[in-house]
């Protein structure tokens, strides 16, 4: 793989790096300050388009990079709608290579294996310094639209919660911040002239993205499963015991009848209300937490075929629900978007046939996901 700076087309290389967002996260219920969050951000090296991101209050891990990659690969139409972001974010598809610093996170072997199975090369480089965020600062700057970032965070700071910050720092819930950053990326950062490119990232993407560059996972379910953490649960008559919780699905009753007592399961730490249990056939079945189980729901017994489609990968997979707290802080942060429109070297009203094909391919995955994706919440 050539150097990242030598990329000549979209999705030839993306850089994944971590930084802190200069916003104080508060608890939704109590308003208690929790700390500054980490953002794991993917950036296309050629167009500087943000490919995806993941927010977390925990220091960067393999899971942070995995969820950022999932968000990068999948179509974001539904993700944007759920968060009330009325802008287009057309980036989707597997990159040819991912560039990461060698100190990005521990346990990278599983991440490399998942990327290799999907046809993605991983390129590890020696970090420019001891801190995180140097690549984000180089490729994007110290702001995503109007969202302030803190780059070059030293290792000794990774476990800190930043409980003592000035009054100038905005206070938001994690859900509010996720929606705000999504809007700032799609509506501001992508539309403004980039300092290094001389034009907007969105303009370059529309000009150079072609149908032959779009690669989606052949097996979307297994692609996602390969990036989620796994553990072994103990199966008993009352259900599957895992992570201190109890799960059940009618489909795993056969395992109990067959005398199997230990089952491998994949889980998403952002939503432990359901897990995905591997059956002897290699397929996965969704099991819900026992207290949430409704015997009348037929999908609990539905076995997920490996060929099922996945097109939506969220950065937090949290349900967007109405809360009692009015989001006046978030509204005050929302500034006029696209103040500097992209250079008109590409007609935005009349996309080319290739661009329509690219958008249509990702949208097709999204439509399949609505009916077949095992990762959507049961009440959707």
Q: Where are the domains of the chain?
A: 4-217+316-372, 221-304
Question: How does the average pLDDT of the chain come out, rounded?
Answer: 77
Residue 107 gets the label, from left (phi > 0), alpha (psi -120 to 50) or beta, of left
Lowest mean pLDDT among 53-57, 100-104, 196-200, 260-264: 100-104
Which pLDDT score, from 0 to 100, does residue 240 have? 93
pLDDT in tens, 289-324: 987 544 444 444 343 333 333 333 333 333 333 333
CA–CA dist 298, 317 (Å, integer): 22
Sequence-ordered list of residues with C-beta below 8 angstroms from that of 55, at least 6 positions apart, any chain: 21, 37, 38, 39, 174, 177, 178, 181, 315, 316
Select the more confidently predicted residue: 375 or 234: 234
Mean pLDDT of 71-96: 94
What pLDDT, on a 0 to 100 scale, did the predictor assign at position 242?
A: 94
Tell me the pTM.
Answer: 0.76
In the numeric block, the tokens 């891990």 are attached to 61
For residue 70, the model assigns a pLDDT of 94
Q: What is the spatial distance between Cα 166 and Cα 168, in angstroms, rounded to a whole number?
A: 5
Contacts 24+ apart (CB under 8 A), 242-246: 242/267, 242/275, 243/267, 243/272, 245/272, 245/289, 245/290, 246/289, 246/290, 246/291
What pLDDT band is residue 347 in, cutting at 50, 70 and 90?
A: very low
Q: What is the mean pLDDT of residues 226-237?
A: 91
Residue 75's pLDDT is 93
Helix (H, G, I), strand (E, B) or coil at 18: strand
Q: What's the topology of domain 4-217+316-372?
A: Nucleotidyltransferase; domain 5 (3.30.420)
Query: Who has greater pLDDT, 106 or 266?
Result: 266
What is the predicted pLDDT for the residue at 167? 62
Least confidently predicted of 40-44, 128-132, 263-267, 304-308: 304-308
pLDDT (tens digit per residue) in 333-343:
444 444 444 44
93-107, 195-209, 230-244: which range is least confident on average? 93-107
Q: Please tell me which residue, 18 or 251, carries the higher pLDDT value.
A: 18
């Amino acid at each position: 793989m050539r150097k990242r700076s030598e990329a000549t087309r979209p999705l030839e290389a993306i850089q994944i790096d971590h930084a802190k967002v200069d916003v104080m996260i508060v608890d939704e219920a109590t308003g208690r300050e929790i700390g500054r969050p980490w953002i794991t951000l993917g950036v296309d090296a050629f167009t500087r388009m943000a490919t995806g991101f993941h927010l977390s209050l925990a220091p960067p891990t393999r899971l942070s990079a995995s969820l950022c990659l999932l968000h990068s690969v999948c179509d974001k139409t539904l993700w944007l709608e759920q968060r009330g972001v009325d802008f287009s974010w057309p980036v989707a598809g597997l990159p040819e290579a991912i560039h990461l610093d060698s100190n990005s996170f521990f346990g990278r072997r599983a991440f490399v294996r998942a990327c290799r199975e999907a046809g993605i090369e991983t390129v590890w480089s020696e970090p420019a310094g001891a801190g995180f965020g140097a690549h984000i600062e180089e490729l994007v700057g110290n702001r995503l639209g109007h969202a302030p970032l803190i780059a070059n965070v030293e290792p000794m700071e990774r476990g800190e919660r930043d409980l003592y910050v000035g009054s100038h720092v905005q206070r938001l819930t994690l859900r509010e911040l996720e929606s705000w950053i999504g809007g700032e990326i799609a509506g501001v950062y992508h539309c403004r002239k980039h300092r290094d490119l001389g034009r907007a990232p969105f303009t370059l993407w529309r000009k150079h993205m072609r149908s032959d560059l779009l690669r989606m996972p052949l097996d979307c379910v297994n692609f996602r499963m390969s990036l989620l953490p796994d553990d072994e649960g103990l199966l008993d008559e009352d259900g599957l015991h895992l992570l201190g919780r109890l799960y059940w699905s009618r489909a795993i009753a056969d395992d109990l009848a067959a005398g199997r007592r230990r089952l491998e399961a994949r889980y998403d730490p952002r939503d432990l209300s359901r897990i995905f249990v591997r059956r002897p056939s290699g397929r996965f079945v969704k099991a819900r937490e026992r207290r949430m189980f409704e015997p009348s729901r037929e999908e609990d017994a539905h076995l997920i075929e490996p060929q099922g489609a996945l097109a939506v990968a969220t950065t937090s997979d949290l349900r967007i629900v109405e809360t009692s707290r009015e989001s006046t802080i978030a509204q005050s942060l929302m500034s006029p978007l696209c103040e500097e429109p992209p250079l008109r070297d590409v007609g935005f009203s009349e996309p080319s046939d290739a661009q329509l094909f690219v958008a249509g391919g990702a949208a097709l995955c999204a439509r399949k996901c609505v009916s077949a994706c095992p990762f959507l919440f049961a009440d959707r």
